[in-house]
Amino acid sequence: MTTYTARPVEPRVLKELRTADDAGRPPAPFTDDEGGAPLRCCLRRSEPGERIALVSYAPLRRWAAETGARPGAYDEQGPVFLHAEECAGPAAGHGYPFADAHRTVRRYSADGHILGGRLVETVGDDAFRNAFDDPSVALVHVRAVEYGCFLYEVRRPSA
């Protein structure tokens, strides 16, 4: 049985984003008084009182830089929350985070082009198995339905 991994934003990238985001702006950390923000650094919701930042992030652009993909017009950037300072990352066995609402599973080719998306009620192995059943799918983004925000990525498992 294939295992799929929800990938947080990588520590090296987080360090960069805490200096200047993908739109070239410095972060503006704040204290989250209410909690509940979906943190892409540790794949959990923020707790009241934590210092976080909302930054612009271009996940497909960064993946393309690693792989040589050319997403063209599919390159986009959007807002993501992260801890204002370095954190420990996701807890071991974190599973599929932010599964408390409908999500979109957006599929991308090795060139970085959108191959389609699917609305799912529950993010789980079936959603990724369905996406990766298409051999042209290299990467999947899980996104929030209500705002379209990037939550995390899942890459095609190694053979």
Dig out the tokens for 18 from the structure. Answer: 């805490």
CB 2 within 8 A of CB 127: no
What span, in angstroms and rounded, lies between the C-alpha atoms of 72 and 3?
30
Tell the residue number behind the tokens 């390159």, with chain if given. 75
**pLDDT of the residue at 159:** 54
Q: What is the pLDDT of residues 106-157, one digit of tens each?
A: 999 999 999 999 999 989 899 999 999 999 999 999 999 988 899 999 999 8
Cα-flanking dihedrals φ and ψ of residue 45, to 5°?
-85, 145
DSSP-assigned beta bridge partners for residue 82: 53
**How confident is residue 2, by pLDDT bands cut at 50, 70 and 90?**
low
DSSP-assigned beta bridge partners for residue 103: 120, 144
Cβ–Cβ contacts within 10 Å for residue 147, how many? 9
What span, in angstroms and rounded, lies between the C-alpha atoms of 139 and 20?
25
CB 96 within 8 A of CB 6: yes
Coil, helix or strand for 87?
coil
**pLDDT of the residue at 26:** 97
Q: What is the pLDDT of residues 66-111, one digit of tens each?
A: 999 999 999 999 999 999 999 999 998 888 999 888 999 999 999 9
**How confident is residue 1, by pLDDT bands cut at 50, 70 and 90?**
low
Share the mean pLDDT of the chain.
94
